[in-house]
């Protein structure tokens, strides 16, 4: 499967047929989205996560980053 096709599948949350490079790209995308959401005012974050096509992954990353930053 071509990388562009794998990326389309990855953006829908289907990582089963994706190479490690595409999965790495997706992790970076999810990390950046989580950082963007955490920079928002608190009352807008939940809606931003829910409106994201990768809501499950982004939500988990937001929680991970929030806890990590809180620990500093």
3-state SS string for the chain = CCHHHHHHHHHCCCCCCCCHHHHHHHHHHHHHHHHHHHCCCHHHHHHHHHHCCCHHHHHHHHHHHHHHHHCC
Whether the pLDDT of residue 71 is over 70: the answer is yes
**Domain hosting residue 29, numbered range:** 3-70
**Mean of the per-residue pLDDT values for the chain?**
88
Across 19-45, average pLDDT: 91
| Centroid of chain to Cα 41 | 19
The count of domains in the chain is: 1
Across 31-41, average pLDDT: 96
Which pLDDT does position 72 carry in this prediction? 63
Across 5-26, average pLDDT: 80
Tokens linked to 21: 């490079």
d(CA 7, CA 28): 13
């Amino acid at each position: 499967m071509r990388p562009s096709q794998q990326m389309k599948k990855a953006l829908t949350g289907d990582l089963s047929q994706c190479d490690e490079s595409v999965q790495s790209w997706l992790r970076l995308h999810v990390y950046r989205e989580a950082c963007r959401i955490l920079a928002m005012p608190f009352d807008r974050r939940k809606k931003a996560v829910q409106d994201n096509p990768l809501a499950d992954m982004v939500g988990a990353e937001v929680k991970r980053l929030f806890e990590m930053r809180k620990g500093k």
